[in-house]
Amino acid sequence: MTSAVPAVAVGVDYPAGPSRALDWAAQEALARSAPLRLVTGWTGAAHDDPDLLREGFLKASARKLLEETARLTELSHPGLAVICEVVDADARYALERHRDGVQLLVVGARRAHRFPDRLLGSTSLHLAATAGGPVVVVPEDPYAGLSVRGDGPVVLGVDGRDPGRDLVAFAFETAVREDAPLRVVHAWHQSPTGGPDGVFALADEGRTTAEQDMRLHETLAPWRARYPEVDLHADTVHSGAVRALVRLSRQARLVVVGRHGQPTGPLGRLGSVSQGAILSARCPVAVVPAP
């Protein structure tokens, strides 16, 4: 039976088992009163034993492991309904191709031990760059516990000129659901201006900061009125956006960024800020595409 509430879908590696992404997705589904959909991508061609493939033994084994993971997830999250899907597709495309009836995609990201700012594999980046709806990338850590939800603020990175309604709404709605403070950050940098004598000079920093503050507060004014219950803090910072978001991610429960790039390549739509946040943030990162 299909649920009237769109599901939260999470990618589960084969062989299925517990992960930080799964735990985060289960808690998120409960918070949204939504079912949780566990999706494992199955590529039988990767197994070269024709007898096992012919009898469907390995695929049946994958489904059995996924169903056991679903059972354990329901036990550890009372009231949660869990759905299982073993999809005949590479993991990169399994979630992407099953967007119907899904309100949020969740995927884990494993970082290289010696290079913590590099991800192993590209599924998380691919989904964040191409999915038609919001994607949350949860950093996996084999040396930490499964729970990754903190009690810090939700952090929203915006472009002060055009932050995007879907992006801002996602952050405010998350703050309401979690009863969490919302910190909105607009990072700006100073560009040189040309003088009458052709000499470039930096604009007055104090005046520029005041202008950026005013622009951000004007942008957020209707959202303050719409969500008066949210404890909102708005800041403009004179530094790179990625640096500011990564610094704040150390205490945040979620970083929310937009996706405004052009689809000129596999990661062309992701943009430097959202990609940098996924690669370096210390908490889950939500990427919300522009309509």
For 11, the token pair is: 């990618």
pLDDT value at residue 81: 96
Whole-number Å distance between alpha carbons of 96 and 222: 34
Residue corresponding to tokens 């999915």:
131
**Domains of the chain by range and CATH?**
7-140 (3.40.50.12370), 154-289 (3.40.50.12370)
How many Cβ atoms are within 10 Å of 167's Cβ, its own excluded? Answer: 25
10 in Cβ contact with 107 (< 8 Å):
yes
**Any idea what DSSP says for residue 45?**
G
Helix (H/G/I), strand (E/B), else coil: 229: coil
Model pLDDT for residues 89-98, shown as the tens digit of each residue: 776 777 777 6
Backbone angles phi, psi at 63, to 5 degrees: -65, -40
Q: Is 240 exposed, middle or buried (0-12, 13-18, 19+ CB in 10 A)?
A: middle
131 in Cβ contact with 277 (< 8 Å):
no
Whole-number Å distance between alpha carbons of 104 and 135: 6
Whole-number Å distance between alpha carbons of 271 and 159: 13
**Any idea what DSSP says for residue 203?**
P
Model pLDDT for residues 146-205, shown as the tens digit of each residue: 667 778 999 999 876 677 899 999 999 999 999 999 999 988 766 555 444 444 445 555
pLDDT value at residue 189: 60
**Any idea what DSSP says for residue 291?**
-
Helix (H/G/I), strand (E/B), else coil: 120: strand
**Any idea what DSSP says for residue 13?**
P
For 161, the token pair is: 């000129």
Q: Cis ω on the peptide bond leading into residue 18 (within 30° of 0)?
A: no
Find how far residue 221's CA is from the centre of its chain.
25
141 in Cβ contact with 109 (< 8 Å):
no
pLDDT value at residue 113: 44
Residue corresponding to tokens 């590479």:
90
The segments of the chain whose pLDDT lies below 70 read: 1-3, 14-17, 42-58, 91, 98, 111-121, 142-147, 160-161, 189-208, 261-269
pLDDT value at residue 261: 57
pLDDT value at residue 43: 60
For 157: left if phi > 0, alpha if psi spans -120 to 50, otherwise beta; the answer is: beta
For 237, the token pair is: 């910072």
